[in-house]
Amino acid sequence: MNRIMFVCLGNICRSPMAEIIFRDMVNKAGRSDEFVISSSATSGENVINGVGASVYYPAKKILEEHGLSAQGKRAVKLNAADYDDYDLFVCMDSGNVRSVRRIFGGDKDDKIRMLMDFTSRPGDVSDPWYTGNFQTAYKDIYEGCEGLLSAL
Ligand code: 4NP
């Protein structure tokens, strides 16, 4: 079993997009039995009184344009107890990597990765929160997910 946790700052744009795109890719490859797929935030900003925010509307919209639904996904915060429950923590940018290491107090089993490291162009996923460009983020995330799936 491959247990994959995608991580970004808010869990309302990039990591839910990765979760939903990757799950669809895994399903289409007929490999759903091999994976547990989830996503979470390094910040608790989008979880109020235990209730997580929905996926940010423009992210939801770009997913829908590609035939995918973000229905039901709510933001959750990553916590230290998640470390043993997943095999890989796949981060959207280098700031996420630093935050994830802080939450886990290190990375003793070498589980933290960057999504774009699974492509021919490593670096940060284009952050639509700042660029406003959800199509570019979708393309980055899609490529990263393709690379991740073929690596597993
Ligand atoms: P995400 O996007 O980390 O891809 O979910 C962001 C969401 C919220 C904020 C920044 C990025 N924020 O500053 O509130």
DSSP type of residue 86: -
- CA separation, residue 105 to residues 8, 102, 110 (Å): 18, 5, 12
Among 23, 127, 140, 145, the active-site one is 127
- Expressed in angstroms and rounded, the spacing between residue 10 Cα and the centre of ligand 1 is 4
What pLDDT, on the 0 to 100 scale, is given for residue 142?
98
For 137-151, write each residue's pLDDT tens digit: 999 999 999 999 999
Taking the complete model, does pTM exceed 0.75, yes or no?
yes
pLDDT in tens, 58-105: 999 999 999 999 999 999 999 999 999 999 999 999 999 999 999 999
Instruction: Give the per-residue pLDDT at 143.
Output: 98
Active site residue 121: no
Atom 7, ligand 1: which residue's CA is nearest? 10
pLDDT, tens digit, for every residue of 106-117? 999 999 999 999
Single out the catalytic residue among 13, 14, 91, 93.
14
In order, the DSSP letters of 81-106 are GGGGG-SEEEESSHHHHHHHHHHHTS
Report whether residue 16 contacts ligand 1, using a CB cutoff of 6 Å. Answer: no
* pLDDT recorded at residue 7: 98
Domain boundaries, the chain: 2-151
Q: Which CATH superfamily is domain 2-151 in?
A: Response regulator (3.40.50.2300)
